Chain A
Amino acid sequence: MVYKPQYYPGATSVAENRRKHMSGKVEKLRDISDDDLTLILGHRAPGSDYPSTHPPLAEMGEPECSVRQLVEATPGAKAGDRVRYVQFVDSMYNAPATPYFRSYAAAINFRGVDPGTLSGRQVVEARERDMEQLAKFQLETEMTCPALAGLRGATVHGHSLRLPEDGVMFDMLDRTRKEGNVIIMHKDQVGRPIDKKVNLGKPMSAQEAAKRTTIYRADNVAFRNDKEVIEWVHRVFDQRTIYGFKPE
């Protein structure tokens, strides 16, 4: 029998979206150019070489090592890239992604990534070109609504705040704005002004966001109604508790 991953329980659209995010089979909704991505990440100038912390692995004369033979280095590691980050903030008002599912999606579908999960933000550190590959993927697909999510390296406050009237999640540093019918970013991740406005695409409508979201909410898909997920949480809780009581 061929193993078929079963990523998540639940019979609701939220559970289905969680499975989708983790599978990596998500819909592409927009294009962000490489130069635009570089600009908003703010780690280096568009078109410049990747700064490196060591020579390419091929030039380093690595020692005999069975692990090295088993695990192929990522492109960023091969090239000696430095480690850089991308950090997303997702609104609790039906942003498509949630921090844990961004982390799961990163860890399942990308190699050489180090996801970190908080309540208001989710960071992935990786070799720079590897990180960019993940960032581009998440920005261009249904995992991200440019109005309900943001790239924020610091001062991330906003995920739980009421939405402003234009529907663009509050950002103390005002990195992202709605202009016409699209969302633009005019500062980089840490709030430094950038040379041009980067078009992040159209925001999702409220209905579309509610359809694509991975957060349970009483005004959309209520957590209490996804019985299978609650049953599964209870099972995890039971097993851990009972194991600790009698760890034989």
Chain B
Amino acid sequence: MANDRKKMFAKDMEIKFTKEHGSNKMEGGKITDMVGKYYRLGIEQNPRKVEMKKAGQEIAKKRGLAGYNPMMHCGGIPLGQRALTPSFISGTDMMVEIDDLHYVNNAAMQQMWDDIRRTVVVGMDMAHETLEKRLGIEVTPETINHYLETLNHALPGGAVVQEHMVETHPALVDDCYVKIFTGDDELADEIDKQFLIDINKTFPADQAATIKAAIGKTSWQAAHIPTVVSRVTDGAQTSRWMAMQVGMSFISAYSMCAGEAAVADLSYAAKHAGVLSMGEMLPARRARGPNEPGGISFGHFADIIQTSRVTPEDPANVALEVVGAGCMLYDQIWLGSYMSGGVGFTQYATAAYTNNILDDNLYYNVDYINDKYKDAAKTGKDNKVKATLDVVKDIATESTIYGLENYEKYPTTLEDHFGGSQRATSLSAAAGCATSIATGNGNAGLSAWYLSMYLHKEAHGRLGFFGYDLQDQCGATNVFSYQSDEGLALELRGPNYPNYAMNVGHQGGYAGITSAAHAGRGDAFALNPLIKVCFADKLLPFDFTAPRKEFGRGALREFEPAGERSLIIPAK
């Protein structure tokens, strides 16, 4: 297939590299030029850096202690010896300063993680059985509504049952709430609409039918504790905070005895038996409780992101949103901060969701697959191509070589992805997601990821850095193994999978490959329908249908986060 199609990154590269931004003098030339000018203008060329320098000077003066000073870099040679250029958020028209894509500088990124960490799904059926069978208390839609109203008072920190209690100020915890969902349309009809995540209205009809069939007659609470609580404590706190308030709300709503033994059953159900965390607890060597990023499987993450229900006809877009969100959470926050520290990881992650380079590669692959494999890249189950090594090799090889040649023919794309790890992630994510879409098989996509790494390394004689390459040299061997900890379906793998524990630039790709397999098939969810429904809720501060756009809004300082403390601190 001819690869002279219009490049999706062309406009971004033209604006980024042939137009002036700030005072970087990046005016003129073509995006195919192999020669560039280096004016060595330092940080003064960039408005955000200038703002940061000024802030650093003011802070140092105020506190009488040195702080941010860009002239400390490299013995007095500041950043900006090459042009400092902003980036476009892929899939949008938003052009942002790259500093504003560090999660510290981006409220939307923080909120995405806050919204995941402060969420648990809690079953209602065990509690209802306890009430009905053990205590003989009738549970009806009316009592459920009353309970939910009680819990929406109690979950943020309102008191029930007890007198003379301290409570949290509602204005500090206004992001905290609980809703219910069920596969039972009759029950759903009886639930007060303010409390209901309506599967029929939130998902396309075919997806709604699948999800309702999977959930059946069971009913579940999507509980989001306050952002501020989650930030002060950790992800493991979420189920505990929720369970305490759930228990108190049951006592209050059903007029129970506060000390009767059945309360322990309700508590056990809410804390253990009926609770679903977003992430599993990590082993002692990584020392994190449930609901921390290292325990979030790629399947769960694919379900947290909601693009699959708004653009089901475009599986590539679904995958790209998951890749972007995954790179942010797994690279920038998990590996970049929990596991490492500093600022460098941001550069690895942003390459996958800026300037449409990955997008161009993946959509090229979609065209290639549709041409060669009879529309196998279109959403559907009957059109998939069988997942064989020959198919993996064909798609991964074409995808990788196409992407490599873009770097060779468009030096500005090479300059944009100036590190080999950035390029490797983009190329392998494109190959992996495309193979997943074509086959509907995440492990076939993972296999393509590894072949792409081999091809890339061989073509350019380089790949990433030591730690980056390490697992890519050996990963192919565990793709299809189901021996103990050697192999696993990609949906069930996660950041703590052997070999994945410290490999920046990979995990967002793996999550994208996972989602691509299911988006390609038009599945309603990748791994867990409960998580998919839990996040299908517009009331969450972060819009999980369009994470990249949200990151852009965060970078442009347009995003309104939750959990702010301005109410209780001196006004500035």
Q: Using a CB–CB distance below 8 Å, which chain A residues touch chain B?
A: 18, 92-93, 97-101, 116-120, 155, 157, 159-165, 170, 172-174, 191, 214-219, 222-224, 229-230, 233-234, 236-238, 240-245, 247
Contact = CB atoms under 8 A, between A and B. Distances in A.
B185 interface: no
Contacts of B404: 218, 223
Given A161-B82, A163-B36, A244-B477, A99 B462 contact: yes
B476 A244 contact: yes
Contacts, number: 145
Contacts of B414: 92, 160-161
B465 A244 contact: no
B405 interface: yes
A164 B37 contact: yes
B142 interface: no
Contact of B393 (A101, A120, A234): A234
Contacts of B460: 92, 98, 119, 215-216
Given A216-B459, A219-B409, A241-B389, A164 B35 contact: yes
Contact of B463 (A93, A119, A174): A119
A117 to B, nearest CB: 7
Interface string B405-428: 101110110110111110110000
Greatest chain B CB density within 10 A among A159, A224, A238 is at A224
Interface of B: 33-38, 74-75, 77, 81-82, 389, 393, 397, 401, 404-405, 407-409, 411-412, 414-415, 417-421, 423-424, 447, 450-451, 454-455, 457-466, 469, 474, 476-481, 483, 486-487
Given A119-B463, A160-B417, A161-B418, 4 more contacts: A120-B420, A218-B404, A218-B405, A244-B478
B35 A117 contact: no
Nearest to B404: A223
A128 B35 CA distance: 37
A163 B35 contact: yes
A160 B476 contact: no
A115 B480 CA distance: 32
Nearest to B80: A172
In the A-B complex, list the 4 residue pairs whose CB atoms are closest, starting with the nearest: A119-B420, A98-B461, A244-B477, A162-B36
Contact of A170 (B82, B397, B458, B479): B82
B360 to A, nearest CB: 16
Contacts of B479: 241, 244
B483 A247 contact: yes
Contacts of B408: 217-219
Contact of A173 (B77, B411, B462, B486): B77
Nearest to B40: A174
Contact of A160 (B38, B419, B474, B483): B419
B447 A222 contact: no
B459 A162 contact: no
A144 to B, nearest CB: 14
A174 B77 CA distance: 10
8 contacts: A92-B414, A93-B34, A120-B462, A172-B74, A218-B405, A233-B458, A245-B480, A247-B483
B420 A170 contact: no
A241 B476 contact: yes
Nearest to B396: A237
Contacts of B461: 18, 97-101, 214-215
A237 B454 contact: yes
B419 A119 contact: yes
A105 to B, nearest CB: 11
Contacts of A245: 480-481
Given A117-B462, A244-B476, A170 B38 contact: yes
Nearest to A222: B405
A233 B462 CA distance: 15
Given A118-B465, A218-B408, A244-B487, A163 B419 contact: no
Nearest to B486: A244
Contacts of A99: 461-462
A58 B81 CA distance: 50
